[in-house]
Chain A
């Protein structure tokens, strides 16, 4: 199968108009150099300040993310929930005590309801609560009250809906995750390892 499939994919890009790779590299160097400088400024600000936004795109993606990466990416990081202080900052794949189930942008109300029921009936789940787009937005506004430019740049539509989940047994997180991640309407599941006093979901 794989070979045939590879052929199909290769043919699918057969109309590639082509691009000069050196020009691509040069353009990336110019754009990347800008990101670099902006990131340094932002990093300096963060040191003076405060929170670490744990941009948890795809769980581990964040090694790539810096704030100030570019306007869009900056916002993408800023709209991520912030890891609670009593949790390990890096999301974990195993041994998570808490999880955020992020819904896809196009998730339907029916999918949300089904998910809510699935979480309620899941014996691995100790507690769960839903965070609407508006609630996420309000939290974001409160968090960045001292950064009006950022707040002004982001609308409520940037925020995903999500369920915050506390698990009863951390060792069951992987099975929980694979089940929930596969449910319709789920964009991603982000696990965190937290002390018992952390808020449900492990994020602020």
Chain B
């Protein structure tokens, strides 16, 4: 079909290339010998042990569903594993994984949004008087009411403590846009959570 990576355009192996080339174009490195695979798997597993929980939790904050979060985390990690030989040298695998995760979340917005609709439709609590902060939504419920892009900024910036610059790089938006979304999202959270929400 097509190639979505922008990396080396024509350097991909021809269709009849010997099967076991592990890492497409990067010069014959690492035929998939069992030892190379074992080493790769060990390295990858170590990364999952160190970062998997945080990744799952961020996925949960994005989608408010632990099962979906597990799926998203696994999916993210699988995509990283598929290109592990290329990315393992990256200084910041964690930032890389967040980029993959957020893209997956954006792709899956419908599933995430499904959760929001359910929330919006629940009529089980009396309408609060306007302006009073007793919605008492849990933070995740309030997050679910934000646009997914704003949610991503909050999770990366405030749950995970990435710098504004890092968030901008992960999401591929400008630094001012990150600041803007963060401020907007925080003020919406404050409106939703009322006095429970720590003031700046």
Interface residues of A (CB under 8 A from B): 1-2, 4-13, 16-17, 19, 21-22, 24-33, 35-36, 39-40, 42-55, 57-70, 72-74, 76-78, 80, 89-90, 93, 104-106, 144, 147, 150, 174, 177-178, 181-182, 187-189
Q: With contacts A40-B24, A59-B173 known, is A105 near B5, CB below 8 A?
A: no
Interface residues of B (CB under 8 A from A): 1-7, 9-10, 12-17, 21-22, 24-25, 41, 44-45, 48-49, 52-53, 56-57, 60-61, 66, 70, 73-75, 77-84, 87, 96, 99-100, 102-104, 106-107, 109-110, 113, 138-140, 143, 147, 149, 155, 158-159, 161, 169-174, 176-177, 180-181, 197-200
A19 vs B22: C-alpha distance when bound (angstroms) = 30
Known contacts A11-B139, A46-B3, A66-B82, then 6 further A-B pairs from the complex at CB < 8 Å, ordered by chain A residue: A32-B78, A46-B1, A52-B2, A67-B5, A73-B79, A80-B4
Q: With contacts A12-B140, A21-B48, A43-B12 known, is A28 near B4, CB below 8 A?
A: no
List the A side residues contacting B143 at CB < 8 Å. 12
**Contact B4–A66 (Cβ < 8 Å):** yes
A88 vs B117: C-alpha distance when bound (angstroms) = 41
Q: With contacts A43-B13, A58-B103, A147-B1 known, is A24 near B6, CB below 8 A?
A: no
Residue of A nearest to B143 (CB): A12
Residue of A nearest to B80 (CB): A32
Q: With contacts A73-B107, A90-B6 known, is A28 near B12, CB below 8 A?
A: no
List the B side residues contacting A42 at CB < 8 Å. 1-3
List the B side residues contacting A45 at CB < 8 Å. 1, 15
A55 vs B4: C-alpha distance when bound (angstroms) = 5
Residue of A nearest to B175 (CB): A178
**Contact A59–B70 (Cβ < 8 Å):** no
A162 vs B74: C-alpha distance when bound (angstroms) = 31
**Contact A32–B79 (Cβ < 8 Å):** yes
The smallest C-beta distance from B94 to any residue of chain A, in angstroms, reads 13
The smallest C-beta distance from B70 to any residue of chain A, in angstroms, reads 6
List the B side residues contacting A40 at CB < 8 Å. 13, 21, 24
**Contact B14–A44 (Cβ < 8 Å):** yes
Residue of B nearest to A105 (CB): B109
**Interface residue from A22, A62, A65 paired with B45 (Cβ < 8 Å):** A22
List the B side residues contacting A4 at CB < 8 Å. 198
A156 vs B49: C-alpha distance when bound (angstroms) = 40
A68 vs B48: C-alpha distance when bound (angstroms) = 23
**Contact B77–A32 (Cβ < 8 Å):** yes
Q: With contacts A22-B45, A39-B24 known, is A28 near B140, CB below 8 A?
A: no
